[in-house]
């Protein structure tokens, strides 16, 4: 250790750094801030243009620069997007799908994880391998053949199609639950067994309450995933009345092809729920992401 220190003193680099002047440190900090502000501007400028544009009238949109503020806050675009653009309907449909799929995922996911993690039988090992194998399959391309099955079951063009797919093909959630269960001590179960509790009882009164943080993580990931998913709804729910947020927005391209101010209003409406959720749950979202993707 001492030798090392002497060595570093001799080559002369490190002391120079240690004696770095406050000015040099200030410059380094300044460079970092400038870099970050460039990144922030990159994110904000496209969003700002959309927000400003969404309040302009069609005339203003054509005749003013993109950064020019509109004369007055004109909310007619929002009305048109909500009702005419069916974004309101889309929000309602999305919410229904999210609530049912989340409930389904949590029930089936925790049950699956409980069996696969706690009962180390040959069967459960085999099934666990089957679930892991399924993560490899490319999601969007798989729809080529999934479509035929959904169609045969008569689920095409109904909300049940995405709901059942969101519940049935969600393996990430099971992985998160299993990982979390690894850290819940088996001795809890064992002491309950000594007290004569049955396995269903262990599941309901020990496993489920202890899994709450994992359930919160899964809920967040699931919410963001379904809210932002486009192709499942696009593929399985072509009816106008079954539009979700993504497809309602996508359908703006045709009728509002030249009316970007209305499209912009639709975009803003669609982002607001995400923004609220992000601001409220920021920390949980970061943590959920990191823990959710450690083992994919």
Instruction: Please report, as residue ranges, which positions from 223 to 262 form the binding site for other proteins (by CB under 8 A).
Output: 224, 227-228, 230-231, 235, 245-247, 249-250, 252-253, 257-258, 260
- CA 43/CA 19 separation, integer angstroms: 37
Q: Which of residues 135-174 bind other proteins (CB under 8 A)?
A: 136-149, 164-165, 167-169, 174
> What is the full DSSP assignment across 86-141?
-HHHHHHHHHHHHHHHHHHHHHHHHHHHHHHHH---HHHHHHHHHHHHHTTS-HHH
Q: Does position 191 bind other proteins by CB under 8 A?
A: no
**Inter-residue contact 265 to 78 (CB < 8 Å):** yes
Q: Quote the least distance from Cβ 17 to other proteins, whole Å.
A: 4
210 binds other proteins (CB under 8 A): no
Site for other proteins in 38-67 (CB under 8 A): 39-40, 42-47, 49-50, 53, 61-62, 65-67
218 binds other proteins (CB under 8 A): no
Contact window for other proteins (CB under 8 A) among 73-81, 108-116, 176-184, 208-216: 108-116
Give pairs for 17-25: CB < 8 Å, separation 24+. none
Residue numbers 3-22 binding other proteins by CB under 8 A:
4-5, 8, 13-15, 17-18
Cα 38 to Cα 32: distance, rounded to the nearest angstrom: 10
Size of the site for other proteins (CB under 8 A): 101
- What is the DSSP secondary structure assignment for residue 156, as one 8-state letter? T
208 interacts with other proteins by CB under 8 A: no
Residue 230's contacts (CB-CB under 8 Å, 6 or more residues apart) are: 246, 247, 250
CB of 171 to other proteins, least distance (A): 8
Question: Closer CB to other proteins, residue 99 or residue 276?
Answer: 276
| Contact flags string 170-189 toward other proteins, x per CB under 8 A | ----x---------------
Q: Are 245 and 267 in contact (CB under 8 A)?
A: no
Query: Residues 10, 26, 27, 28: which binds other proteins (CB under 8 A)?
Result: 28
Spell out the residues 6+ positions from residue 279 whose beta carbon is closer than 8 angstroms to its own.
Answer: none
């Amino acid at each position: 250790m001492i030798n090392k220190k002497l060595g570093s003193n001799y080559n002369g680099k490190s002391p120079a750094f240690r004696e770095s002047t406050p000015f040099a440190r200030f410059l380094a900090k300044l460079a970092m801030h400038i870099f970050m502000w460039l990144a922030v501007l990159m994110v904000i400028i496209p969003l700002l243009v959309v927000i400003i544009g969404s309040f302009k009238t069609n005339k203003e949109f054509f005749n003013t620069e993109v950064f020019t503020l509109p004369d007055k806050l004109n909310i007619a675009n929002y009305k048109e997007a909500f009702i005419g653009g069916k974004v309101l309907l889309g929000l309602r449909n999305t919410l229904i799908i999210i609530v049912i799929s989340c409930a389904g995922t949590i029930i089936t996911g925790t049950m699956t994880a409980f069996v696969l993690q706690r009962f180390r039988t040959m069967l459960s090992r085999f099934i666990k391998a089957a679930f892991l194998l399924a993560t490899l399959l490319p999601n969007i391309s798989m729809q080529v053949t999934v479509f035929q099955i959904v169609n045969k079951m008569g689920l095409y063009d109904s909300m049940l199609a995405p709901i059942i797919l969101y519940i049935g093909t969600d393996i990430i959630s099971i992985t998160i639950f299993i990982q979390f269960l690894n850290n819940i001590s088996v001795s809890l179960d064992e002491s309950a067994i000594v007290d004569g509790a049955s396995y269903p009882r262990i599941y309901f009164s020990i496993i489920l309450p202890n899994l709450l943080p994992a359930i919160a993580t899964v809920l967040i990931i699931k919410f963001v995933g379904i809210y932002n998913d486009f192709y499942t709804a696009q593929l399985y729910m072509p009816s106008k009345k079954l539009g979700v947020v993504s497809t309602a927005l996508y359908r703006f391209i045709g009728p509002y092809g030249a009316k970007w101010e209305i499209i912009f209003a639709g975009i803003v409406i669609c982002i607001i729920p995400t923004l609220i959720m992000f601001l409220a749950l920021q920390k949980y979202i970061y943590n959920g992401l990191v823990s959710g993707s450690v083992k994919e």
